[in-house]
Structure 1
Amino acid sequence: MDSTLCAEPLQENAHYYTKIANPMITSPRGFTAAGLHAGIKRKRKDLGLICCEVPAAAAAVYTTNAFQAAPLMVTQEGMEVEGRMQALLVNSGKANACTGEAGLQDAYQMRESAAVALGLPEHQVGIASTGVIGERIPMGPLTRGVPELIEQLSKEGSDDFCHAILTTDTGIKTVEVRLTIDGKEVRISGAAKGSGMIHPNMATMLAFVTTDAVIEPSVLQGLLREVTDETYNMITVDGDSSTNDMVAVMASGLSNHQPLTREHTDWLVFKDAFTFVSQELARMIARDGEGATRLVEVEVKGASTLEGARQAAKAIVGSSLVKTAVYGADPNWGRILSAVGYSGAAVNPAQIQVTIGEVIVVDGGQPALYDEELARRALDQPLVHIGVDLGLGTASATAWGCDLTYDYVRINASYRT
């Protein structure tokens, strides 16, 4: 069994929440999961299910790609009924995107197969697909696999589910934290897939979060949109935005504390923990970029606006020239400045400082005196940190990505074969 893929740990406030060493998407009260090989792919698990024992408060955000895949359309339609979800069925191998009316009907059939077998209203079943664009899902194997999948639902089904949603990922991606609200233990767990076709604006990944917190759908939706801008929308692997990607959250409410609102005394505690789970999943996706050898973290501070800080950070981490320089451990800081310059962020070239690791390579917009070997070593690490201070204000943002290697071309040149 593959080990869970982990990024370098983030700074966390253990006084408020604890990161769990062996995370499971089924850890929050009320959740079970399963995953199996239905025959959509040749050998590996390709069908997964998360189920809640009660209709869970739910929230979701979706890809901004204009060619939105059929499963996302069907899930959005269902969510609009009451904002609750009791089951989430996911397949890998076929994206069911750009498949026309036939693909849309397949998506409805996919949802119906799970709803009927579980005895649930169809709108309480979410669906998601990932894989090759333009290819329909073989519905025979999928619908035959659903009853067996339901039979296998258990608290121990977390890893099977996580493996079932993978495509070119090198390992499963899971994270879990626990915290206390109104004196009651609350759990938040997440699982994700994604390693290629990753770009900001909620694209090219699937992430699923479960929690036993008590929270209304509208409050949860607002929180998810806010946190998405800070986390999932701040990663990039290759600049391509997918047709299929989604983040979905289900909250069972079985921890039985007072309902969470922004006025609740523990709201910020919950928000911080929820953000941590989302940020860790985002970093894991960036770290697992196809062919990647390094996670790249770009921190921009001193910006005049938050949007400017985000633009600059994403431009740097998304630059193919910066990514290849990281792969080659080449401290070519001119590529970093170039990305800042075209990012759209407000810039005064005479005030910019750039660091690679702890090494200042640009100061006041001019080359700094630095030890190039130290800068090379900073780039030759599993986690590469690039810092930019624009010197214009107080806004800051962080983005994550990875290096660009020969293997990225090899993997994507033969993706369908």
Structure 2
Amino acid sequence: MKIIDGGICAVDGVLASGSRKGKYGVTIILSKGSTAAAVFTSNKVLAAPVTFTKEIIKNGELSAIVANSGNANCFTGEEGMKDAKEMAKIVAEMLNIKPEDVAVASTGIIGRKMPLEIINPLINESAETLGNSPESSFAAAEAIMTTDTFSKEIAVQTTLNNGSIVKIGGITKGSGMIAPNMGTMLCFITTDVKTSKEELTEALKKAVDKSFNMVVVDGDESTNDTVIIMANGKSGEIDENFQKALDFTCIELAKMMAKDGEGANKYMEVTVNGAASKKDSEEAAKAITGSSLVKTALFGADPNWGRVIAAVGYSGAKMDEKTVDIRFKSNDETVEIVKKGIIIATEESEELKAAEKIMKKDEIKIIVDLNLGKYSATAFGCDLSCDYVKINSEYST
């Protein structure tokens, strides 16, 4: 497997584009006659485009996606559903495809009517400028940004067991309201693998569980979360090599979101090893990553490992404090904080001084070993800064 250029347009036959006007943007992705699968938010309040797309993707067939930023089209009632259908209809007419083969996704402020007088011209502009180039993918990634500070895209290729080469490309947006399960994020993935709806759905769910469901920026879960994958069937069939490449694609995009957390200065990666069950490893990793106290310690470069062990304790994971190891790591530097329940980084120790140095880095890894089993999980997050409060106190103004 290797990383290649082109984002979603690295896949032959995929066309994309994006257009913006002020805080509003529209992205269109075209991959005619694709097999499709999707994962959505588990929030009980569902945005109109989520409800719409859930229904039209049931048959596992899709030709296009239209996504907008600047308005969530959520808590907008029947009018919101009408607007989502209108967006799909316009795209279908312009691209000569069926409206029921167009997925719709939105991100932005909840509870405001979709400004179709702004969105529709952007749909027209995007449809007229579709292309299969790195620039086209970049434009699509930029158009769905909200509080993101950079666009997020990646493409990889891998060789399947039968010798054929398959490509996967992805774009995503998201920097705040990120929490398991998923957050205020949209992710669109294209591939040329040949597959059934059932196989593709299983592969996507496996990848999402390892990636987007392990990101915690602020603990809030959005109403609009959508991950869609489209497979045009021009290459070989799904195997374990494809799954590894899809996992890698989603994990890398998840890391980008964590690094771009609203107001974030530092990236945090938390790995919990030696858990008694898979659930225990995941819950403990997410509890540490989601802890406001851990996040603020990260912001202040405070090696307060007590907050880490406290988070493990309330996570629900099986643990024994006499068996726990804790390490802090950044780049090639690693320091033992606790070993088999014994505190190594005591006051005035060299280990504590080393931990203080690590906490000043831009990227910090926290590694916890429960030493109770064989399961492990990694979660992705960031610090909690003063800028986060400022950004979200002014979001709807």
- Tell me the TM-score range normalised by the shorter chain: over 0.9
How far apart are the structure 1 equivalents of 2:365 and 2:121? Answer: 48
Partner residue in 1 for 2:374: 394
Q: Which moved more, 1:165-174 or 1:378-387?
A: 378-387
Matched, 1:51 2:30: yes
- 2:10 is the alignment partner of 1:18: no
Does the CA contact (< 8 Å) of 1:25 and 1:191 recur in 2? Answer: yes
Please state whether the residue corresponding to 1:108 is helix, strand or coil.
helix
Instruction: Report the residue type matching 2:335 in the other structure.
Output: V
Q: Deviations over 1:68-93 (max 9, x none)?
A: 1110110111011x211110000000
**SS where residue 36 of structure 2 aligns?**
strand
> Do 1:95 and 1:133's aligned partners in 2 also have CA atoms closer than 8 Å?
yes
After superposition, residues 11-160 of structure 1 pair within 5 angstroms as 17-20=1-4, 22-37=5-20, 39=21, 43-44=22-23, 46-52=25-31, 54-80=32-58, 82-156=59-133, 157-160=136-139
Whether 1:165 aligns to 2:144 is yes
**Quick one: structure 1 residues 292 and 323, their matched pair in 2 at CA, closer, same or farther if it must change by over 3 Å?**
same
Asked whether 1:373 is paired with 2:353, we answer: yes
Provide the secondary structure at the position in 1 that maps to 2:8.
Answer: coil
Q: Assess if the C-alpha contact under 8 Å between 2:269 and 2:365 holds in 1.
A: yes
Matched, 1:207 2:192: no
* Percent pairwise identity: 42
Change (3 A) 1:70 1:282: same
Which residue of structure 1 lines up, in the alignment, with residue 217 of structure 2?
237
Distance 1:291 1:202 in 2: 19
- Contact 1:64–1:203 under 8 Å retained in 2: no
Q: Is 1:179 aligned to residue 158 of structure 2?
A: yes
Asked if 1 retains the 8 angstrom alpha-carbon contact of 2:267 and 2:364, the reply is yes
In the alignment, the residues of structure 1 paired with residue 84 and residue 24 of structure 2 have an alpha-carbon distance, to the nearest angstrom, of 19
* 1:228 is aligned to 2:208: yes
Cα RMSD, aligned residues only = 1.3
- Indicate the residue corresponding to 1:280 in structure 2: 252
Match of 2:264 in 1: 292
Greater CA drift, 290-299 or 132-141:
132-141
Quote the offset at 1:45 in angstroms: 5.7
Counterpart amino acid of 2:337? Answer: V
Q: Which residue of 2 aligns with 1:326?
A: 298
Structure 2 CA distance for aligned equivalents of residues 135 and 18 of structure 1: 43
CA distance in 1, matches of 2:121, 2:184: 28
Q: 2:178 aligns with which of 169, 194, 198?
A: 198
Residues 78, 122 of structure 1: 8 Å contact kept: no
Q: 1:362 aligns to what?
A: 338
- The AA in structure 1 aligned to 2:57 is M
8 A contact 1:354–1:360 mirrored in 2: yes
Q: Does 1:340 find its partner at 2:312?
A: yes
- Tell me, in whole angstroms, the C-alpha distance in 2 between the residues paired with 1:187 and 1:83: 20
Q: Residue type of the partner of 1:212? A: D
Cross-structure match for 1:10? none
The answer to whether the 8 A contact 1:209-1:249 is kept is yes
**Distance in 2 between residues matched to 1:347 and 1:50, nearest whole Å:** 46
TM-score (norm: length of structure 1): 0.90
Match of 1:252 in 2: 232
- Partner amino acid, structure 1, of 2:312: V
Aligned partner letter, 1:26: C
SS in 1 for 2:117: helix
Structure 2: runs of 5 or more not aligned = none
In structure 1, the gaps of 5 or more residues are 1-16, 261-266
Separation (CA, whole Å) in 2 of partners of 1:86 and 1:373: 56
Cα distance per residue 1:191-217 (max 9 Å; x no partner): 000000000112221111111111112
Partner of 1:301: 273
Q: Is the 8 A contact 1:65 1:203 kept in 2?
A: no
Name the TM-score, length of structure 2 as normaliser.
0.95
For the 8 Å contact 1:44–1:164, the answer to whether it is kept is no
Aligned AA (1:111): A
